[in-house]
Chains A and B, each alone.
Chain A
Amino acid sequence: MEAWLLVAQLATLAIILAVIYRPLGDFIAWTFTSTKDLKVERGLYRVVGVDPAREQSWRAYLSSVLAFSLLGVLFVYAIQRLQAVLPYSLGLPAVPEGLSFNTAAAFVTNTNWQSYSPEVTMGYTVQIAGLAVQNFVSAGVGLAVAIALIRGFSRRSTGTLGNFWVDLTRATFRILLPLAVISSIVLIAGGVIQNFNGFTDVTTLTGGTATIPGGPVASQEAIKMVGNNGGGFFNTNSAHPFENPTPWTNLFEIVLMLAIPFSLPRAFGKMVGDNRQGYAILAAMGTLFLVSVAALTTFEIIGSGTGPQLAGGAMEGKEQRFGIAASTLFATTSTITSTGAVNSMHDSFTSLGGMMTLFNMMLGEIAPGGIGAGMYGILIIAIITVFIAGLLVGRTPEYLGKKLGPREIKLASLYILATPTLVLVGTALSFAIPAIRDDVTTTSIWNPGLHGFTEVLYAFTSAANNNGSAFAGLTANTPWFNTALGVVMLLGRFVPIVFVLALAGSLASQGRVPVTAGTLPTHRPQFVGLLLGVILIVVALTYFPVLALGPLAEGLV
């Protein structure tokens, strides 16, 4: 029964995404290739002091990304520290230093890791004027960087990649904001709240008291999904009925998470002048997505493990209105993009089911991945794939008319190494340093044994890949996790961006290599197969040992 429900849901999802693929992808491509600025945009550029016609080198582009993100961290930090004097704070005090740092890093990096419980920590002003602003602009930054990389392929013999401020503005105000406005209203129609009511107590039928929470939720929920952010207005995120009230809002939120990431291959194909290149990338993304969601759903339907067997199914941590199939589709979407929202508790999934959500993040979030981040992630793997194929046949590798020399391959390799290093070092340090290990095992870990190890591994995987979901039993509001995860989120976001922009600069400076009989075609099923092979080999070699220590051991023994 659940299998049929999944197939029907997937079919609906596929039709919707197929219908929007071309128009949204073309719109994105047009947005970033148009030379016209809107009147209101010209006003914005005057206010902030940017000349929109001035193109930037990759270094200048990077400086702007980093400056903007640093200012973002300072803004979000400051607004949390000032909470006590801000309006609509529900009487909540200033957020402590360590937590403020962690949260600022989380929202600026598009991760939205939440070490805190929002209902008792964040007032409305911090949520809307601090956190939700980053929901927009952090997604805008990701999209801008992806576009810069695509321009590296599409441009010839130039020293510039575009203007970051223009790209950020167009991503935010032409793409994300309109989608968020429409989606907010649809979500309100479905039951998501939008008010400033605070907490209201009512007397129940039994004479007891029930608390109805309030808040400007719909406006935040919409951009949380569209921007692949994932930070919940409430502690239980999209499992909370005021964030995700019905099965149809659940599917709607899934569509919002996937709309831009799955349309970006179209924008990519359009911008490099060959739509077939976009379809090849789309095929690889779609295949991984389908296999992953099928695996997770299967594990949850089987429902192995002592607890699920005893209860008669894997429903712990799942909402009745969603059941299994709507929970697993949401969980897959959320972890295989960079969203990290949850409509069910991943910590309570079966061992192998929980492993799938972990595995999705370990793929590097490229199927389809986060806003922009998924696109530049899979293009890096495509570069590695072309390189490996070139080695096999003994030819200089080239992709989309650009030679991939030592510099390009070094940058791509560094990109591939950065995130796993953060995941594995962070997890290892949590257990290797005695004082930290004591704190981690006594204070932070909720489930004993192997599952507790997985909670820590999940936290670092989520932070390094900028996902933001959690095995939420973990108490992360401790000095170690607030600091370590905060640093890992920042490095996991900006170190890869440095490599991507350097690569983009290097590609843009090249001329175009003519296609010859010896050029590896990168739009055929053969290349899609190679690409999938490289993705799986890289991930398996990197993470298999650590998975064997946690979820594999728990699920198979």
Chain B
Amino acid sequence: MATNRGFARPYWVALRYMVVATVVLGIAYPVAILGVGQLALPAQANGSVVTVDGAPVGSSLIGQSFTDADGNALPQWFQSRPSAAGYDGGASVGSNYGPENEDFIAAIEARKAAIAESDGVSEADIPVDALTTSGSGLDPHISPAYADEQVARIAQARGLDQAAVQGLVDRFVQGRDLGYLGEPTVNVLQLNVALSQLGR
């Protein structure tokens, strides 16, 4: 029986403990949770994928950009918030701009001007979420106010009745959890999927 007093003794115990901990906590635990998730809650565990006609078009939790190949906003789609990650699901990132950063201030000015022109609204009427980037760069939501603000542009671009588009937005407004947690949201991908099926 080895003595507990030797200098090397705790290191030998620690080494064996780390091996056991790695097997139990590092392999068995996540694999067990994987099993439960895949069997009991497969839709969530695999990323809340949204499908159209059986084909996946994204995740309801991961925001997307609705732009052309050059990154220009497509007027016929509801636009997401600005994103520091460019909605790259492989590299989430926030802008990390401080409140006085000149580049941040310039970016807000530029977004104001662009949205005022594309949506035909006054700069003062643009909601804050349309002018700021999210923490994740993958925010799947916009505020109901920003969705409302885009209705006229979309109705015009698609040749649809404005009331029909507004009705769609109203259907997709999600209130606060329990009435007081978080903020009201509109899921942009789900709204756009419904929009694409509106004319059919």
Contact = CB atoms under 8 A, between A and B. Distances in A.
A446 B84 CA distance: 14
A158 interface: no
A312 B57 contact: no
Contact of B96 (A197, A308, A345): A345
Contact of B65 (A199, A208, A310): A208
A307 interface: yes
A205 B135 contact: no
B4 to A, nearest CB: 6
A554 B10 CA distance: 50
A236 B44 contact: no
Contacts of B141: 319-321
- For the side of the interface on A, what is the size category? 35 or more
Contact of B14 (A67, A197, A308, A314): A67
A246 B177 contact: yes
Interface stretch (A93-101, A177-185, A501-509): A177-185
B135 A319 contact: yes
Contact of B98 (A119, A239, A347): A347
Given A133-B22, A218-B37, A351-B99, A320 B94 contact: no
B133 A194 contact: no
Given A68-B17, A70-B11, A213-B89, A188 B45 contact: yes
B34 A317 contact: no
Interface string A299-310: 000001111101
B181 A447 contact: no
B16 to A, nearest CB: 4
Contacts of A349: 99
Given A49-B16, A317-B134, A8 B180 contact: yes
Contacts of B140: 241
Nearest to A189: B41
A306 B92 CA distance: 26
B100 A307 contact: yes
B47 interface: yes
Interface string B131-165: 11111111111110000000000000000000000
Contacts of A168: 17
Contact of B21 (A70, A136, A216, A313): A136
A316 interface: yes
A343 B129 CA distance: 16
A185 B45 CA distance: 10
A421 B158 CA distance: 63
Contacts of A64: 10, 13-14
B45 A218 contact: yes
Contacts of B58: 202, 204, 210, 212
Interface string B99-134: 111101100110000000000000000111101111
A33 interface: no
Contacts of A240: 92, 136, 138
Contacts of B143: 320
A27 B38 CA distance: 32
B94 A317 contact: yes
B47 to A, nearest CB: 5
Interface in B69-86: 69, 74, 77, 81
A208 B74 CA distance: 12
A442 interface: no
A60 B29 CA distance: 31
A9 interface: yes
B198 interface: no
Interface of B: 2, 4, 10-18, 20-22, 25-27, 29-30, 32-34, 36-38, 40-41, 44-49, 52, 55-59, 61-69, 74, 77, 81, 87-102, 104-105, 108-109, 126-129, 131-143, 176-178, 180-183, 185, 189, 192-193, 196
Given A70-B11, A218-B37, A317-B95, 12 more contacts: A47-B16, A72-B14, A133-B25, A202-B55, A202-B56, A206-B77, A210-B59, A210-B62, A218-B45, A236-B93, A307-B104, A351-B98
27 contacts: A48-B20, A49-B16, A67-B14, A68-B14, A75-B22, A165-B13, A184-B36, A189-B41, A193-B46, A194-B30, A195-B47, A205-B77, A210-B58, A210-B89, A236-B137, A247-B183, A251-B181, A307-B98, A311-B108, A311-B131, A312-B128, A313-B132, A348-B99, A351-B99, A351-B100, A448-B101, A451-B99
Leading 9 A-B pairs by shortest Cβ distance: A247-B182, A305-B99, A239-B135, A473-B96, A323-B183, A211-B89, A129-B26, A67-B10, A194-B37
